Every structure is written in structure tokens, then in C-alpha cells.
Amino acid sequence: SRHLTWSFHTPRVINAEKSEFNEDQAASCQISIRRREPGLEEDEEWLILCSTQFLTGYYWALFDGHGGPDAAIIASNYLHYCIKQKLEEVVGGITGAHPPMHLSGRCVCDSDPQFVEEKHIHAEDLVVGALENAFQECDEVIGQEMEATNQMGGCTALAALYFQGKLYVANAGDSRAILVLKEDIVPMSCEFTPETERQRIQQLAFLFPKLLDSEFTRFEFPRRLKGDDVGQKVLYRDYFMEGWGYKTVEKADLKYPLVHGHGKQARLLGTLAVSRGLGDHQLKVIDTNIEVKPFLSCIPKVNVFDFALHDIKEDDVLIMATDGLWDVLCDKEVAHMVRSFLAENRTDPHRFSELAKCLVYRARGKKRGHQWMLDDSHEASYDDVSVFVIPLHKRDED
């Protein structure tokens, strides 16, 4: 099996001192997963201690906060602990020394042979399940913590875990991770926004109309409707539609749309620009009693990259960044910068952190008068920008 050692002054740059307040948070650490001897109960603690072995995971995460930095701070202090816990719960199945019942699904049920199933469950599926459960647990903890201390806010979460020869990227929000390989760019996440999750959000409002408290319409229209549109035919979409249809405007359609706007302007309940993440338990639509949380999901989509299936080259890296980077640079532009920077700086021992800085400064742009501009004289990112550059190549020393 592959041995990687990463230094944990991992190359990352947060925000490049542009704004006074920064709602981005980052975390990275080794995760030691305790592997218990099976069959031992909690009260045999001394035996557990005697027989403990550890597996090592490597973890990096970015949290982009909104409505205050608190949720992002708690998440950056706590998510890796949730992941460690959830991995320990399934580690017996992962290592396979004592695979718990039905990992293979081949267990035959003699009394009821028609129920025997082959589900093709692999160790990888247990790690994915652990990450999904960890995000959910972390969200619960954030909710309790913030209620107890009367704090507000939420955050997106993008977490990468290297474990047992595979890279797992779990994403809930609009940050993005890509692998920049010598010959290829591999997307490791997709963005969850009110626009990309429109159908899920509209369907919830269809199933539970009370959630909108008669203040919003669940229909999508190409623009905000106004009084003289009543009686006209306009384009609309309901929860079950990927295409568009026409409807005759009624008075109820003049309400503010549940999901409104396009691209970076898309908003959920006029309030939030993301549809997945952690926190926001107390968030209400301004001047109403309408809660936003029921429409949010804390569950990440997990993508897996198996190192055994790829020939990793020296300059291959994982790039993780908050939306501030991707708003102004596309995957190809980032990959181009990564490849040319690393090729030009082959001997610099700090080249990965220099590259992270370089990416952040590029997205931040240069100050010209009152505006921050990109090199191509487009407007630069005004958002917080945080970037991880994580080398993938096996290194025996650091």
C-alpha cells in the first residue's frame, strides 16, 4: 500500500488580506483511526487500549461562512473529529480482518433463500457513508452549539480525505475541488446552489406548502412578475420540470419566487446563495417567521479517486478553493496556471504554497483606483478567496 506523508503547513492561502472580515476557514490534519479488536465491549477498555492499532487518514477542508464566521469556525474545529468517529465505527469492515456481517452481501439466509442478495458493497462505500454521516453529525453539533451560545450563521463545507490509497472529496456548497494531472483535469465536486438544486427545493415547497407561509411562490419565472402581468401568459417551471411551459399569471404568482435569480445572483428565499452546507439552524427570512433550514441539505456528494488506477506524476495536484476563485477563473485557466507555475519552479521547496498564493492573488486582481481588476481587465473577485494546493505524488520526505 501507498505511503504518503504530507506536511501540515499545507500550502493554503486565505483571503489575501483583501477584506477586513474573512468568513472563510480552513482546516487540515492527520486523522488517526483507532482499530479495535472485534468483540470487545466498551467496559473492557483496558483490553481495547492494549490491542489498539491505528490507520492514518489525511484531511483538508475549506469552509466558506455566511451571516458571520461562527459556523465556519466550529466546523473547522469539529468536522475532522466527526469523520474520525464515523470511520472508527466502520473500520472493521474497511480493513476486512474481521469483516462484519454482510459486507460482501454474500451471507446466505438459509431460512429464506430468495432474499439473498449481492449488493457489491466495498470498503469504499463504507468511507463514503462515514463522510455522509459525519457531515450530518457535524451539522447537529453546530446547531446545538450555536443555539446554546446564541450565535448565527452557516457555512459551506468542502472536505478531502486521503485514506487507504483513495482520495475522497465530500462537498456541500459552492466551493470546488479539481485534480490537475499532467494530461487531464478531473472534477472532484459539483456545486450545490439554489439554481442547481431548484427541483429539490421546489418539490419540498410542493409537499409542504406551509413552509412558504403564503409569502413566496414555488414557481420559477424568467423574471420577477409585476401587477400588469396578471392575465398574461408567461414562461414558468414547476418542481417536476426541466423544460419550460406557459402559465397564465394569477395574483399569487406575483409573490417573491422561492428560488430566484441566475448564476451568482441565484437566491433561496431571497436569502441564501447556497443550498447545502452546515449551520443556519436559526436563519429566518428577514421580517418573517419563514425558516430557511428545511430547504438546506447538510449532506455532501462524495467523489472518489483511486490512486491505484492512475500513474501519478510529480506535478499532479489537488486544488481546493472557495467560490471566490472559481467566480473569476475557470478549471482550464487554473490548470494552465498550475502546470506552468510548477514547471517553472521545479526546485523551489515552497512551490506548492507559492502556487496557492499565486492563485489567490490572481483572483484578487490588482487595485486600480477604487476597483480590483484582473490582468485581462475584467473585474476581480470581491469575495473571500481560499485555496489549497495539495501535491499528490508520493514523497518519502518533506
* Per CB under 8 A, 103 contacts its own copies: yes
| Binders in 252-291 for its own copies, by CB under 8 A | 260-262, 265
Contact stretch for its own copies (CB under 8 A) within 67-75, 110-118, 285-293, 356-364 = 110-118
Amino acid at the residue 364: R
- Nearest-CA neighbor of 187 among 396, 330, 20, 377? 330
- Nearest-CA neighbor of 208 among 99, 293, 151, 95? 293
Amino acid at the residue 15: N
Contact stretch for its own copies (CB under 8 A) within 14-22, 106-114, 305-313, 341-349 = 106-114
What the block records as the C-alpha cell of 248 is 397564465
Which value, in Å, is the radius of gyration of the alpha carbons in the chain? 24
Query: For its own copies, what does the binding mask look like between residues 187 and 226, x meaning CB under 8 A?
Result: --------------------xx------------xxxx-x
* Per CB under 8 A, 109 contacts its own copies: yes
* Per CB under 8 A, 12 contacts its own copies: no
CB closer to its own copies, 110 vs 344: 110
- In angstroms, what is the minimal distance from the CB of 396 to its own copies? 32
CB closer to its own copies, 260 vs 364: 260
Provide φ and ψ at 374, rounded to 5°.
-80, 170
Query: For its own copies, what does the binding mask look like between residues 68 and 97, x meaning CB under 8 A?
Result: ------------------x--xx--x----
- In angstroms, what is the minimal distance from the CB of 233 to its own copies? 6
d(C-alpha 396, C-alpha 54), whole Å: 20
Alpha helices (H) in 208-330, listed in sequence order: 323-326
DSSP, residue by residue, 256-282 = EESEE-SGGG-EETTTBS-SB-EE-TT
* Per CB under 8 A, 366 contacts its own copies: no
Find out whether 59 and 26 touch, Cβ atoms under 8 Å. no
Cβ-Cβ contacts under 8 Å for 69 (sequence gap 6 or more): 21, 22, 23, 25, 153
- Spell out a b/e string for 324-355, using b for 16 or more CB atoms within 10 Å of the CB, else e: bbbbbbeeeebbebbbebbeeeeeeeebbbbb
- Nearest-CA neighbor of 232 among 213, 215, 247? 247
* Per CB under 8 A, 302 contacts its own copies: yes
Find out whether 385 and 324 touch, Cβ atoms under 8 Å. yes
- In angstroms, what is the minimal distance from the CB of 137 to its own copies? 11
Query: For its own copies, what does the binding mask look like between residues 234 and 253, x meaning CB under 8 A?
Result: xx-x--xxxxxxx-------
Interface pick for its own copies out of 126, 172, 292, 359 (rule CB under 8 A): 126
CB closer to its own copies, 167 vs 335: 167
Please give the residue ranges that form the binding site for its own copies (CB under 8 A): 86, 89-90, 93, 100-103, 105, 107, 109, 111-112, 115-119, 121, 124-133, 136, 207-208, 221-224, 226, 232-235, 237, 240-246, 260-262, 265, 297, 299, 301-302
